[in-house]
Amino acid sequence: MSLGIAFGAVIAGIVVWAMLVRKLSGRPWETNSAVVELGTYRQSEIPAAKIGLWTFLAVITSLFGLFISAYYMRMTHGHSALDSHTDWSSIPKPTVLWLNTAFLMGSSVAMQWARHAASQGNTRVMRSSLAIGGLLTLAFLLGQLAAWSQVHDSLCFSLRNPAVAFFYVLTAVHGAHLLGGIFVWGRTLQRIGNQRTALESRLTVELCSVYWHYLLLVWLVLFGLLLST
Amino acid sequence: MVAVPIADRDTEHVLHEPHSFVTKYIWSQDHKVIAIQYGVTAIAIGLVALVLSVLMRLQLGFPHAFSLIAPHDYYQYITMHGMIMVIYLLTALFLGGFGNYLIPLMCGARDMVFPYMNMLSYWVYLLAVLVLVAGFFIPGGPTGAGWTLYPPQAISAGTPGASWGILCMLASLAIFIVAFTMGGLNYVTTILQARCRGMTLMRMPLSVWGIFMATVLGLLAFPALFVSAIMMGLDALVGTSFFMPAMSSMGQPAVHNGGSPLLFQHLFWFFGHPEVYIVALPAFGIVSDLLSTHARRNIFGYRMMVWAILAIGCLSFVVWAHHMYVSGMNPYFGFFFAVTTLIIAVPTAIKVYNWVLTLWHGDIHLTVPMLFAIGFIFTFVNGGLTGLFLGNVTVDVPLSATYFVVAHFHMVMGVSPILVVFGAIYHWYPKITGRMFNETLGKVHFWLTFLGTYAIYLPMHYLGILGVPRRYYAYSNGIDFIPRSVQEVNAAITISAVFVAIVQLVFLFNVIWSLFKGPKADPNPWHATTLEWQTPDTPPKHGNWGPTLPVVYRWAYDYSVPGAPQDFIPQNVPPDDRIPAGREHGLKS
């Protein structure tokens, strides 16, 4: 697996490097006239908020990537106090997690639907699907609380068990990111309710949908991690 | 959906200039005010760290003279001094201070793209500083675990501040990272999306390149510190065992079981090494601009400088474990990290050569900023060369616990960037305040600081080679291999340190006195080419550029262009028959 990650990183590095070489090959001291290089504006046509969001998603990727690395390292490095065996004891996977995953998938679909409606200028559908997306996310968060409760009541519950501790930390950090999304969602709904038309809200809805899809992806990775260990 | 570039939408932009005192200077969304807020806060907390270092030196230089410094105080001072200097002073000042001030002005933007978030960034940073300082006033005082906060020591009984102090530190770091992320998103997006017409990426001044790459590093590396802060906080608060191994404390088994202290070290240094470059890259960029401007020469090898910044940024993520050689690791890993560490010296050396070649045949003006910039080159070369020693496993292992590391680290990461900070403050002071500082006081400040810091850190290398261990409160109890003369050297270092600390009052006096009594500054006193010197008002007003945004026609280094009427051509001057475009090295095709 580490070899696969290393190979992927090398390939990604080469691609980024090639793009940079193309981009940063200018010889500014030789450019004699070039009053305005229109080429500059190709990337500027992307709205700033979108660049900001994608940069934030890179930060989130780093955060969860590091949590996942720590998860694997703790699994293999930790030792019991009594012998050299690992102190990692897998937890029973709460069945409600499957339902929660369905909720989050549903919310992602609803957000995409809202985005499509916004692009069509259909305010009514946009508003309702946006509302459904948010409500399904709230259902996901409540479901996660139920999962917390199930793990708490299970026999293997002990804060000294790293599997338990990681389950709570990973789900809490992911949930905190969704709560941040819910805050923006609430503001977006309020604005739409006030005066904005679908076209004006298009960017906000689009950004919401990207954020939701990304957090769904993060959750699927985390869920896969929890199921496989 | 096609969005219109920010620079092309400028006519639609309505400037809401703040009028009340509160919106203008406190809850300000203007990048210049936020930069000054960041700068003043960072310098204020930096002065606290300076006082802590003086207290530590007093103890080391004159061990029996100051009974007020107990061993636990000493460890708390070490910890707070290190963390404050690296994170709360240097990172905040370079990115929050200079980044905020320079990015919009150098890129030709009216402000950051998310001004409200920018304002929040400062206030959350201030909260982080206050939580950190609160550590001094809580039971047990601040943490004394050392600035690397290694577990299990950091949260084990017996370590100063192991109960509340460490929690204050971890909470403060987590809050700082939130603040940095809000600021960092602004810096990256503004540089990518809000440059004025004609400001291509390869026409940007190197200061902006350095700040840009440092921000990217920060955004990707700070999460590692965030992860470790959360996990260590849980170990301390609720008894999880992420990092805490099974231990006995006072004969009783501790609550923890099986945690991995090495995991913390990996996470910490995955942040910690890029952190070196988060501080160094803005310094590299700024010093490039200072050298070029005050030597009246275009920067040598601009494109190579940009690539070196990118290469250093990428490589900084694959060298972290060279901080952990003494923790023990697979020899192949040690070999790998030693190789990557030596490779990173290549782009760094390219930058040093290019700085020196920029000065070659230049019309060098020994202004105060230039003195600091040249001082930086000397110091950085010194600190960098000792880094080559410590990058090798076999040399690092015997030297790691000695004063050699303290000397190396302070030369390369302490004195070097601080010299750039001073140079940059003197350089942009006329633009920020509209007044000139006192040149004589500036030169006095430079020479006394520069020579004084060498009197502090050069002898430390020799102490290290003698094997004098670092982190010790005192050496009086019969460490046989340490010669008696070491104490005399320590006393001399302490006298130098106190001297250098007092000299900083000259800087503070100059900056504050000139603010009120300094002569009015010319809008472009250094005859510089970059956009921040071409603003219609000095200091620039809200919105920076008056009714219309500037248009850029050339790169940032058209100095001493043959045939030009002056020895500089600002970036916003269009080429015509009289004013040609420049060529690298002053040659014209």
- With b meaning 16 or more CB within 10 Å and e meaning fewer, what string describes B257-279? bbbbbbbbbbbbbbbbbbbbbbb
For the cut 50, the answer to whether the pLDDT of residue A34 exceeds it is: no
d(CA A20, CA B204): 15
Token pair recorded at residue B191: 């540089």
Q: Determine the residue of chain A that is closest to B243 in CA distance.
A: A74
d(CA B356, CA B293): 14
Distance of residue A107 Cα from the nearest chain B Cα, in angstroms: 24
d(CA B145, CA B151): 8
What mean pLDDT is predicted for residues B525-550? 93
pLDDT of residue A80: 61
Q: What confidence tens digit (pLDDT) does each residue in B174-225 have? A: 999 999 999 999 999 999 999 999 998 999 999 999 999 999 999 999 999 9
Using a CB-CB cut-off of 8 Å, the residues of chain A touching B583 are: 29-30
Distance of residue B432 Cα from the nearest chain A Cα, in angstroms: 27
Q: What are phi and psi of B151, to 5 degrees?
A: -80, 160
Of B246, B262, B581, the CB nearest to A77: B262
d(CA B20, CA B421): 32
Of B5, B192, B200, the CB nearest to A26: B200
Question: How does residue B587 score in pLDDT terms, banded at 50, 70 and 90?
Answer: very low
Q: Does A9 touch chain B (CB under 8 A)?
A: no
0.90 cut: is pTM over it? yes
* Closest to A166 in 3D by CA, of A67, A99, A24, A94: A67
Using a CB-CB cut-off of 8 Å, the residues of chain B touching A23 are: 201
CA R_g for chain B:
24
Q: Does B195 touch chain A (CB under 8 A)?
A: yes
CB contact under 8 A, B246 and A73: no
What mean pLDDT is predicted for residues A119-138? 91
* Closest to B393 in 3D by CA, of B469, B439, B328: B328
Q: Is B350 exposed, middle or buried (0-12, 13-18, 19+ CB in 10 A)?
A: middle
Using a CB-CB cut-off of 8 Å, the residues of chain B touching A52 are: 113-114, 185-186, 188-189
Hey, which residues 87-146 in chain A have their CB within 8 Å of chain B?
Answer: 87, 119
For the cut 90, the answer to whether the pLDDT of residue B398 exceeds it is: yes
Q: CA angle, B91 as apex, A12 and B132 as ends, to 5°? A: 120
CB contact under 8 A, B258 and A26: no
For the cut 70, the answer to whether the pLDDT of residue A196 exceeds it is: no
CA R_g for chain A:
22
In chain B, what percentage of residues exceed pLDDT 90?
79
Q: Mean pLDDT: which of A189-198, B34-43, B151-160 is highest?
A: B34-43
CB contact under 8 A, A63 and B227: yes
pLDDT of residue B216: 96
CB contact under 8 A, B310 and A46: no
pLDDT of residue A39: 41
Strands (E), chain A: none
pLDDT of residue A43: 46
Q: What confidence tens digit (pLDDT) does each residue in A99-108 have? A: 999 999 999 9
Measured CA to CA in angstroms, residue B555 lies from B99, B326, B417, B529 at distances of 20, 47, 26, 9
What mean pLDDT is predicted for residues A193-200? 64
Q: Does B253 touch chain A (CB under 8 A)?
A: yes
Mutating which of B1, B297, B307, B576 best tests the A interface, going by the most A Cβ atoms within 10 A?
B1
Q: Where are the domains of chain A?
A: 2-32+46-82+93-228
pLDDT of residue A113: 95
pLDDT of residue B257: 82
Of B194, B227, B240, the CB nearest to A70: B227
Hey, which residues 271-310 in chain B have their CB within 8 Å of chain A?
Answer: 298, 302-303, 306-307, 310
Q: What confidence tens digit (pLDDT) does each residue in B432-455 have? A: 999 999 999 999 999 999 999 999
Cis check: omega of the bond before B539, within 30 degrees of 0: yes
CB contact under 8 A, B3 and A46: yes
CB contact under 8 A, B306 and A31: no
What mean pLDDT is predicted for residues B318-346? 91
Question: How does residue A81 score in pLDDT terms, banded at 50, 70 and 90?
Answer: low
What mean pLDDT is predicted for residues B447-476? 93
Q: How many beta-carbon contacts under 8 Å exist across A and B?
A: 187
**Higher model confidence: residue B121 or residue A22?**
B121
CA within 13 Å, CB half, B204? 30
Question: How does residue B585 score in pLDDT terms, banded at 50, 70 and 90?
Answer: very low
* Closest to A211 in 3D by CA, of A130, A90, A99: A130
Q: Does B588 touch chain A (CB under 8 A)?
A: no
**Higher model confidence: residue A60 or residue B11?**
A60
* Closest to A92 in 3D by CA, of A163, A143, A172, A168: A163
| Amino acid sitting at position B121 | S
Distance of residue B582 Cα from the nearest chain A Cα, in angstroms: 6
Question: How does residue B466 score in pLDDT terms, banded at 50, 70 and 90?
Answer: very high
For the cut 90, the answer to whether the pLDDT of residue A1 exceeds it is: no
Using a CB-CB cut-off of 8 Å, the residues of chain B touching A79 are: 245-246, 258
For the cut 90, the answer to whether the pLDDT of residue B43 exceeds it is: yes
Hey, which residues 28-57 in chain A have their CB within 8 Å of chain B?
Answer: 28-37, 39-41, 43-48, 51-52, 55-56
ipTM of the complex: 0.91
Q: Determine the residue of chain A that is closest to B197 in CA distance.
A: A36
CB contact under 8 A, B219 and A73: no
Using an 8 Å Cβ cutoff, are B402 and B469 in contact? yes
Question: How does residue B90 score in pLDDT terms, banded at 50, 70 and 90?
Answer: very high
Question: How does residue A37 score in pLDDT terms, banded at 50, 70 and 90?
Answer: very low
Pairing of strands B248-249, B252-253: antiparallel
CATH match for A2-32+46-82+93-228 among 1.10.3470.10, 1.20.120.80, 3.10.20.30, 3.40.50.2000? 1.20.120.80
CB contact under 8 A, B242 and A29: no
Helix (H, G, I), strand (E, B) or coil at A155: coil
Helix (H, G, I), strand (E, B) or coil at B242: coil
For the cut 80, the answer to whether the pLDDT of residue A193 exceeds it is: no
* Closest to B269 in 3D by CA, of B219, B321, B217: B321
Question: How does residue B15 score in pLDDT terms, banded at 50, 70 and 90?
Answer: low
Q: Does B231 touch chain A (CB under 8 A)?
A: yes
pLDDT of residue B540: 94
Distance of residue A73 Cα from the nearest chain B Cα, in angstroms: 7
pLDDT of residue A160: 83
d(CA B390, CA B9): 52
Angle between helices B416-433 and B368-391 (to 10 degrees): 150
Alpha helices in B68-205 (DSSP H): 71-83, 100-107, 115-134, 165-193
CB contact under 8 A, B246 and A26: no
Using a CB-CB cut-off of 8 Å, the residues of chain B touching A81 are: 246, 253, 257-258
Distance of residue A7 Cα from the nearest chain B Cα, in angstroms: 15
What mean pLDDT is predicted for residues B340-366? 94
Of A26, A59, A87, the CB nearest to B257: A87
Question: How does residue A192 score in pLDDT terms, banded at 50, 70 and 90?
Answer: confident
**Higher model confidence: residue B282 or residue B546?**
B282
pLDDT of residue A184: 92
CB contact under 8 A, A52 and B189: yes
Distance of residue B569 Cα from the nearest chain A Cα, in angstroms: 12
Measured CA to CA in angstroms, residue A197 lies from A182, B425, B485 at distances of 21, 48, 80
Chain centroid to CA A146: how far? 21
Which of the residue ranges A45-54, A77-86, B288-297 would you say has the lowest mean pLDDT?
A: A77-86
Which of the residue ranges A12-21, A169-178, B329-338, B407-416 would you say has the lowest mean pLDDT?
A: A12-21
Q: Where are the domains of chain B?
A: 27-199, 529-589
pLDDT of residue A178: 96
Using a CB-CB cut-off of 8 Å, the residues of chain A touching B310 are: 20, 24
Q: Determine the residue of chain B that is closest to A34 in CA distance.
A: B553
d(CA A100, CA A142): 9
Q: Does A217 touch chain B (CB under 8 A)?
A: no
Instruction: State whether CATH 2.60.40.2130 applies to domain B27-199.
Output: no
Q: Does A148 touch chain B (CB under 8 A)?
A: no
For the cut 50, the answer to whether the pLDDT of residue B428 exceeds it is: yes
